[in-house]
Structure 1
């Protein structure tokens, strides 16, 4: 059991990265509009995040320091500052969306308007970070997020034409009135969501929180190769449910309630209850990840004491950053901005920041001074460069496609 629980960091990171509020809505929206024709993008994203998360886990296990700390030291403060600004702003935007997602999940469960839940959701995130140990945090929310497997069960119960779904997945192209521009826009959104910057920074910082050493290389890789593919499968299940229920009747997904409806249709009230708990756990876990990542990146760049492995009093600036970010999230959401729209834009802006995030990781993972004989091999480097090319294309195309398609309309 202890060995199984050792992979909960990867599960929490993957569920927070693949099935947070952004991915829940985006995957369902894509399924309703394109069926499974963008499923290959999720697969490409899973491979990419596994590739770079493995580098991050290996760096932590060998060097004993988080990746962002080494980026600043290896590349200098100026280059590190570019990475910091790009990743921090995207992470803060994602945090706003996640707090909104928690509030929307509570609204679905209670019927109480989501704006009333926003301050309570942010306070709950702060309280858990302040009081709960990191190991318990990752275990509880990682395992609770697994309740989203109900989407896979719902997809099976809906009785789809599996051959048709496979045909869609193997024919990646727009359909009907959809254009290649909207297809490309959502492809970038899915790719950006799969490789959101905070995932790798949270994962590497979490390895330090867990005190990984060289003897934990297997644990680090197990977290990567179990957690992230599982998150990808859940994303595909959400996409598949929407493809079966909404695509044939031409209904578009605009709300979180529509995302959860397939579970209710297939499994009744029990399915709806389970999916609501899973959505709450996934969005709350993602809010914890993004809030902590805001503190991790700022603290590591400036060389402050950071982390939950020390008392809050010893890492006061680290906790202050998170409090400020949570307060900003409340203020933005109380303007009544649509959390779903915030989420959709956050994954596109994430795509713009990807090269600045992942190039430094590739450099650090190849540095013999830090990694010695554990630095990247030739195959890893070739794949890393291929993905950097994809990330660069996505970052360049993101804003033009957003403008051309008016945000995917």
Structure 2
């Protein structure tokens, strides 16, 4: 049983990071417009996040320090500040989207305006972050999030023509869509898969759990179980939208449309599972992003941090998280659409990717911190290939956003 719970951090990171509100919405939108023609981006994102999350976790296990601490020390205050500014702002935008996502889940169940749920959702996140142990946080949220497997079950219940569905996997641009829109959503999917906070949360979570060199096998297990699972669920979400929403030309503008294929496939029971899964995924992602806001600032400035310390001994760490939650609530109370925030957050994540992943590659190759556990030649080769993809996505994101009117 302990070995099963040992991979809970990877499951939480995947469920709360890979399958968060951004991934739920983006995959449903893509499935309803492009079918499975962009599934290859999800596969690419899974490989990329596995590669860099494993580096980040290995850095934490070998050095005994979180990645962000070493980035500042290794690259200097200015380079570290650029990384911090980009990561923190994207993280704050993502946190806002996740709090909004939790509120949308409650609206889905009760029919009550999500604005009334926003303060309660943020308060719930704060209570858990403040009082719950890290192990309880990751185990409960990660395991409840597995209810999202209902999307994969729904694909089978919908009894598709498997040959036709398989043909959808061939990358192609539908006649109703432009090439610019296709590549815009490809970048959005890639940004959703490789959101910067995931690697910082994963690294900091390793310190929370006391990883050492002896735990490198566990680190790899977390990565190789959690993120591919998230990728499978992401493709299942897109497949559900492909089977139900695409033929009816239904545009995804609300959470109810995301879950519509599951309800059509499995009725009330399936609806119950999908609500639990989405609630766990969005709440887990809200916890991750809230913790990541505290992790990044505290690690950069050298403050005391971590769930393993009492709040009174890591006061600034907890204060930063509280301020972040207050900002997220204030933004959402303006009436901004959480779905719109989500769609913008994944694209801006893609823009910030180089500032996150280039430093990680540098640190993972530094023998001063890593000793004999530096990257091997194959890992470095793959890392450099992905850096080319990351930089290309970052450079193309804003022009494509302007050209397509944010995917319209």
Alignment of 1:47-196 (within 5 A): 47-170=47-170, 172-196=171-195
Deviates more, 1:92-101 or 1:11-20: 11-20
Structure 2 CA distance for aligned equivalents of residues 15 and 401 of structure 1: 29
Structure 2 CA distance for aligned equivalents of residues 367 and 313 of structure 1: 35
SS of 1:249 mapped into structure 2: coil
Aligned positions, number: 408
- Residues 115 and 332 of structure 2 are in contact (CA less than 8 Å); yes or no, is this contact kept in structure 1? yes
SS of 2:314 mapped into structure 1: helix
- Residues 15 and 231 of structure 1 are in contact (CA less than 8 Å); yes or no, is this contact kept in structure 2? yes
Q: Give the structure-1-normalised TM-score.
A: 0.99
- Residues 90 and 350 of structure 1 are in contact (CA less than 8 Å); yes or no, is this contact kept in structure 2? yes
Q: What RMSD in Å do the two structures reach over aligned CA positions?
A: 0.6
SS of 1:323 mapped into structure 2: helix
Structure 1 CA distance for aligned equivalents of residues 296 and 250 of structure 2: 40
1:238 paired with 2:237, answer yes
SS of 1:169 mapped into structure 2: coil
Structure 2 CA distance for aligned equivalents of residues 162 and 386 of structure 1: 33
Q: Give the structure-2-normalised TM-score.
A: 0.99
Structure 2 CA distance for aligned equivalents of residues 17 and 316 of structure 1: 26
Task: State the shift of 1:263 in Å.
Answer: 1.2
Alignment of 1:217-296 (within 5 A): 217-296=216-295
Q: Deviations over 1:366-399 (max 9, x none)?
A: 0001111110000000000000000000000000
- Residues 149 and 233 of structure 2 are in contact (CA less than 8 Å); yes or no, is this contact kept in structure 1? yes
Task: State the shift of 1:146 in Å.
Answer: 0.5
- Residues 173 and 180 of structure 1 are in contact (CA less than 8 Å); yes or no, is this contact kept in structure 2? no
- Residues 245 and 261 of structure 2 are in contact (CA less than 8 Å); yes or no, is this contact kept in structure 1? no
Task: State the shift of 1:167 in Å.
Answer: 1.1
Structure 2 CA distance for aligned equivalents of residues 59 and 263 of structure 1: 40
Structure 1 CA distance for aligned equivalents of residues 347 and 331 of structure 2: 19
Instruction: Identify the residue that residue 352 of structure 1 maps to in structure 2.
Output: 351
Structure 2 CA distance for aligned equivalents of residues 176 and 166 of structure 1: 19
Structure 2 CA distance for aligned equivalents of residues 34 and 18 of structure 1: 20
Q: Deviations over 1:103-153 (max 9, x none)?
A: 000111111110000000000000000010000100000000000000000
Q: Deviations over 1:294-346 (max 9, x none)?
A: 00000000000001000000000000000000000110000000000000000
Structure 2 CA distance for aligned equivalents of residues 162 and 70 of structure 1: 48
Structure 1 CA distance for aligned equivalents of residues 329 and 186 of structure 2: 30
Structure 2 CA distance for aligned equivalents of residues 401 and 13 of structure 1: 29
Structure 2 CA distance for aligned equivalents of residues 312 and 305 of structure 1: 10
Structure 2 CA distance for aligned equivalents of residues 377 and 18 of structure 1: 26
Alignment of 1:334-349 (within 5 A): 334-349=333-348
- Residues 60 and 66 of structure 1 are in contact (CA less than 8 Å); yes or no, is this contact kept in structure 2? yes
Alignment of 1:290-369 (within 5 A): 290-369=289-368
Task: State the shift of 1:208 in Å.
Answer: 0.1
Task: State the shift of 1:176 in Å.
Answer: 2.2
Task: State the shift of 1:214 in Å.
Answer: 0.8
Structure 1, unpaired ranges of 5+ = none
Q: Which runs of structure 1 show a deviation greater than 2 angstroms over 4 or more consecutive aligned residues? A: none
Structure 2, unpaired ranges of 5+ = none
- Residues 105 and 279 of structure 1 are in contact (CA less than 8 Å); yes or no, is this contact kept in structure 2? yes
Structure 2 CA distance for aligned equivalents of residues 11 and 147 of structure 1: 12
